[in-house]
Amino acid sequence: MTELPSELYGDKIPVPETAERIHRQIVAKLTCLEESNFSSCLDSQFRVIFNDVLQLFERYQKLVLDHSKITCTCDKGCCSCCFHWVEDVNSFEAEIIAHYIRENMPDKIPQIKNSCIEDQAELERLYALVQEKLTQEQDETIDEIDLLLSVFYQARRLCPLCGSDGLCMIYPVRPLTCRIYMSFSDPGLCDPSYINDEYIPTYLLNLEESANDILDRLHFKYQKFKEDTGLRSLLIKYLRTIP
Ligand code: SF4
Ligand code: SF4
């Protein structure tokens, strides 16, 4: 097993100046998206600029990792992390993903929608069980949602957008929440059976606050379904609406 350098536990990987420069470009692109006031996030120019942001973010992450000399062990077809109930998806990302599915794999829409509906039903069933268990135990130290997400992960229901080959079917437009999640350890440790292990092998290599603040504002600006940031639950709604 590759050990995560101890100085990174609970800490943030340092961002070199080269990556900070890229981050400033990301903020500039996001500011442009905000100020351009597009009526829809499906506007082709919105999607071009947001795609630039995603490309820059890939460069940013690579520069941060290269500088740190830490090896990310994520690889093509490795998909245990796709058992997660993917949360914190921006409204415009979900709408762009639904558009991408419509454009590139219309024949898969019924299958994707059905899997999303089944997964959401399972999440609701598990939520009732979690609530019952917490009421019985009266343990206020356990976070209800954390427990629910952990239980869902252990149910091993692969994301409906993960192909049978383990590859993400919407890879070019996959949400930021999937992009920031990475491992520096043996990929086998990402298996749900290790979720309660004290050793945490994953890391979130996220954007800085200056970019995330703009993303939040864009999320609210293009939001069509309030208080929903789940990838599966949003896809059920976006795939049934005609843009
Ligand atoms: S986070 Fe873990 S399961 Fe996901 S791609 Fe990386 S190594 Fe594989
Ligand atoms: S969107 Fe793609 S990367 Fe994210 S969980 Fe689904 S299959 Fe995995």
Alpha carbon 34 to chain centroid, angstroms: 21
Cα atoms in the 13 Å half-sphere on the side-chain side of 88: 12
Find the 83 Cα to ligand 1 centroid distance in Å: 11
Ligand nearest to the CA of 171: 2
Cα separation values, 53 from 23, 103, 123, Å: 9, 21, 32
The answer, yes or no, to whether any atom of ligand 1 lies below 6 A from the CB of 49, is no
Query: Model-level pTM greater than 0.95?
Result: no
User: For residue 133, which amino acid is it?
Assistant: K
What percentage of the chain exceeds 90 in pLDDT?
Answer: 81
- Which atom, in ligand 1's list, is nearest to the CA of 201? 2
Indicate if ligand 1 lies below 6 Å from the C-beta of 183: yes
Q: Label residues 117-128 b or e (16+ Cβ within 10 Å = b).
A: eebbeebeebbe
Listed residue (221, 106, 89, 231) closest to 157, CA to CA: 231
- What span, in angstroms and rounded, lies between the C-alpha atoms of 174 and 94? 9
Asked if residue 200 has its Cβ within 6 Å of ligand 1, the reply is no
Domain assignment present for 97: yes
pLDDT digits (tens, 9 = 90+) for 31-56: 999 999 999 999 999 999 999 999 99
What is the chain's Cα-based Rg? 19
User: Which atom of ligand 2 approaches the CA of 159 most closely?
Assistant: 6
- Domain range for residue 148? 6-238
Is residue 20 in a domain? yes
pLDDT digits (tens, 9 = 90+) for 187-229: 998 999 888 776 666 789 999 999 999 999 999 999 999 999 9
Beta strands in 87-205 (DSSP E): 181-183, 202-204
Does the beta carbon of 85 sit less than 6 angstroms from any atom of ligand 1?
A: no
Nearest CA to ligand 2 atom 2: 168
Condensed to tens digits (0 to 9), the pLDDT of residues 143-158 reads 999 999 999 999 999 9
Taking the CA of residue 187 as reference, the ligand 1 atom at the shortest distance is 7
Count of domains observed in the chain: 1
Of all protein residues, whose CA lies closest to atom 1 belonging to ligand 1?
Answer: 182
Left (φ > 0), alpha (ψ -120 to 50) or beta: where does 191 sit?
Answer: beta
243 domain residue, yes or no? no
